[in-house]
Homo-oligomer: A and B are copies of this chain.
Amino acid sequence: MEPKIKIAVDAMGGENSPKKVIYGILENYKNNKDIIYNIFGDKEKILILLPKNFDKEVFNIIDTKNKILDTDSPLSAAKKGKDTSMWLTIQSVKNNDSDVAISAGNTGALFVISKLNLKMIENIDKPALSALWPNKNNFNVVLDLGANIECNNKNLVDFSIMGSSLFKSLYPNDEPVVALLNIGSEELKGNDIIKKAYQDLTNIKNKNFNFYGYVEGNQIMDGKVNVIVTDGFTGNIALKTAEGTANFIVKEFKKSMTSNFLGKLSGLINFANLNKIKKKLDPRLYNGAILIGLDSPVVKSHGSTDYIGFSNSLNVCVKIVRNNLIQKIKDNISK
């Protein structure tokens, strides 16, 4: 029998917490019996949400009243001290009491507190924020999404290695194919840093991924590649632009569906079909950004997700522990 996976959970982060966090844990536990949830937060509030006869060895509550707010700046969050639920969650992986940490709270605070407490993986200079982004076939791992506004070519190469290790942890049966996000597919375009990274990635031997070259923004969802590497500024803007575009179009479709009688009728008939698309585009499916590059994995669940989304983020935690994400990165970075 494999050893149980221990997940450190910040119960107090994000909208509607601890309710969605605890309900997310209960949902997640339905299909994952080999897990221990180390839950940090206001015990009183958490206990109300758990069934009376809950298993205290599976749901291990560590009480703390202090918590970080979404409105805290990263610095003021860090200054709030070591008894916030977020800090204790990160401490738990630092002390090897847990294998992975998760929070739906303040992203900037989680990033800073993680960096303060955890060591970088050797030979990696900067951690990155990575996430899943749907493509024609399945999902891309995209990084960096905002942890580092400026990156050099070494960072982009590190991100390629880390991103493909993450992809392989999440989809063990597929081969990672890495691309650099650029403004032209010809070798000539892009800035000097990207061009250098292109050369470096072409020259690495024994790498844990195929290197495709450049992709442009309109090729992200083509399905030709599955790990997309960029600096945090560009990645953040690309991701949010895609979100905004998707929202815009879905709203326009909805408007047209309900704008007259025929539209309404058609909307009714098409309900099952629409739900299929919604399911494919449901952000809860790929909820959870992964802070990658530190010697323990830290997962950021979306602040506005619900308990289903939080449960899916817990699944991400399980996969990256079970498939040894950190060890994969260490093996590949030292090659």
Q: Interface residues, chain A, CB within 8 Å of chain B?
A: 73, 134, 136, 146, 149-150, 181, 183, 188, 190-191, 216-222, 230, 232-234, 236-250, 252-253, 256-257, 259-260, 262-263, 265-267, 269-270, 272-274, 276-277, 280-281
Contact = CB atoms under 8 A, between A and B. Distances in A.
A-B interface, 4 closest residue pairs, ranked by CB to CB distance from nearest: A217-B240, A217-B241, A218-B244, A266-B270
A245 B279 CA distance: 16
Contact of A281 (B218, B232, B252): B252
A26 B66 CA distance: 71
Contacts of A234: 233-234, 237
Given A149-B183, A216-B237, 18 more contacts: A136-B248, A150-B191, A183-B232, A183-B237, A183-B240, A191-B233, A218-B241, A221-B248, A222-B244, A233-B234, A237-B237, A242-B242, A245-B246, A249-B249, A249-B250, A259-B273, A263-B270, A270-B270
Contacts of A239: 217
A253 B250 CA distance: 10
B277 A256 contact: yes
Contacts of A183: 146, 149, 232-233, 236-237, 240
A241 B238 contact: yes
- Specify which of A222, A241, A253, A257 lies most central, judged by the most chain B CB atoms within 10 Å of its CB: A241
B262 A269 contact: yes
Given A183-B146, A263-B270, A237 B240 contact: no
B243 A217 contact: yes
Nearest to A221: B248
A256 B274 contact: yes
Contacts of A280: 252
A218 B304 CA distance: 15
B281 A272 contact: no
Contact of A249 (B188, B262, B263, B281): B281
A136 B245 CA distance: 11
- Specify which of A247, A260, A270 lies most central, judged by the most chain B CB atoms within 10 Å of its CB: A270
A263 B216 CA distance: 33
Contacts of A73: 188
Contacts of A244: 217-222, 242
Given A269-B265, A273-B256, A273-B259, A218 B247 contact: yes
Contacts of A190: 149, 233
A300 to B, nearest CB: 16
A242 B241 CA distance: 6
A105 to B, nearest CB: 17
